[in-house]
Amino acid sequence: MSTLDRTDTSSPPASDPVMLGVVGLGYVGLPLAIEAAKAGFRVIGLDVDGDVVDGITAGRSHIQDVPDADVGALVEAGVLEATLDSERLSECSAVSICVPTPLGKTGDPDVSYVVAATDAVARALRPGQLIVLESTTYPGTTREVVLPALEAEGGTVGEDFYLCFSPERVDPGNEIWHTRNTPKVIGGVTPACTKAGIALYERIVDTVVPVSSTEAAELTKILENTFRAVNIGLVNEIAMIADRLGIDIWEVIEAADTKPFGFMKFTPGPGLGGHCIPIDPHYLAWKMRSLNFKTRFIDLAGEINRDMPRFVVDKVREALNRSQRAVNGSRVLVLGAAYKRDIDDVRESPALDILSLLASDGASIAYHDPHVSEVEVQMSGGGPPRTLASVALTDDEISSADCVVIVTDHSTVDYARVASRAKALVDTRHAVRNRAVEPLTGGDPSGWVVKS
């Protein structure tokens, strides 16, 4: 359903799209392409990675949340295809841009992927076409970066072509909320653009939520993830306070969560991961610095969350010290490389920082993750990253480690077995007691070191 006021009968939206182009077939673009094809669109997916294009053409998915069967059935039905040829976008009535927006080395937003995608779309722009940017970015990007490139091809926005921003809301591994049933926010450069965007997305998703402008839609997405980043930063700081006071932070959180109003539960962890929460707030911070405005909550939360991997390594050091061992020369087994449970995504994962810090302290490092076969770990002092392969979680692997660190609590791991065989155990996810393992000896009152 749409929340659009149907009494508004001003300029009609663009003609009903029958061919949708999706630029970027990653975690955002491929699920969108699948839902659009299921909804009756013919979909052309554009990507710069030949392996991605070849895989989809062969009916294979490279995204964990998208089954091969879905891709294969839609390709076989002729409603989904993938291509490297950007000229194919001229066949589309609507185009959705779903490319990455990482941070540069200096912490500034890197919109080069958006610029490249926009240039490709502009070259293929046709009259009446709807363009929607879904890539998360700072308020003003759609109007300041995308619009001028499209206008340079001629025509007037809202009349000759239509432009909107609609932020992606993908949560990898979420079995309840997915592309179809997650409400879709959309804002256009003009009211006619917004109506065109609604006409597209109300056929693909269950609920469309119009806002007054592209800037409002852009800020909506950043608010969502800044809210989470700041609250995670708060609970991580409280966790460090509880540690200093010798109080179990998880016990405190569970007690606070019994309050039926005025409290929302967040839990501490080893740091932030994924493409959104660790990065999106910094788009806004960068934008506001250019306006001489300090984003104090964002900056402080970022500082706290970035410090958590070092806090975890300090806990490993404490656990080893109790056995009169140093980190240098000890074997440390890290459980989990993905940034959250039951997915294969390692983008910005704190596990990579923890492995790097342990190696820098002289530890012999290994990791196990049932979803991630290998990772690249950056060593201190620069140079090329080191490739690590996931080890099998055998009894010998657990017992031979001087310390085991639970960083990502994948549901398939038997934590009772891990706890019984580990010499020392640091649990950053409260996984051991969450799974009803009997209390262990040698831990600390704060609950981070559960065995030493």
Q: Return all residues near 388 (Cβ < 8 A) that are at least 6 apart.
A: 355, 365, 366, 367, 374, 375, 376, 377
Q: Are 33 and 25 a contacting pair, CB within 8 Å? A: yes
Contact, 71 vs 90, CB < 8 A? no
Can you tell me the distance from the alpha carbon of 121 to that of 42, in angstroms, rounded to the nearest whole number? 18
Annotated active-site residue 276? The verdict is yes
Distance of CA 404 to the CA centre of its chain: 26
Measured CA to CA, the distance from residue 197 to residue 132 in angstroms comes to 7
Give yes or no for a contact between 328 and 360, defined as CB atoms under 8 angstroms apart.
no
Amino acid occupying residue 166: S
Burial class (CB in 10 A: 0-12, 13-18, 19+), 12: exposed
CB atoms within 10 A of CB 300: 14
What is the C-alpha to C-alpha distance for residues 192 and 325, in angstroms, rounded to an integer? 68
Closest to 20 measured CA to CA, from 76, 62, 74: 74
Distance, in Å, from the CA atom of 389 to the CA atom of 99, rounded to the nearest integer, reads: 28
Choose the catalytic residue: 98, 164, 193, 276.
Answer: 276
Separation CA 226–CA 359 (nearest Å): 31
Output the DSSP codes for 27-64. Answer: TTHHHHHHHHHHTT-EEEEE-S-HHHHHHHHTT---ST
Evaluate whether 419 touches 440 at the Cβ level (below 8 Å): yes
430's tokens: 């409260």
Phi, then psi, of 326 in degrees rounded to 5: -95, 160
Q: Which residue is listed with tokens 């710069």? A: 48
Beta bridge partners of 348: none
Q: The tokens of 62 are what?
A: 């490279």
Query: CB–CB of 142/214 below 8 Å?
Result: yes
Q: What is the DSSP letter of 86?
A: G
Sign of CA dihedral 147, 150, 152, 158: negative
How far is 377 from 388, CA to CA, in rounded Å? 7
Which residues are the active-site residues? 276
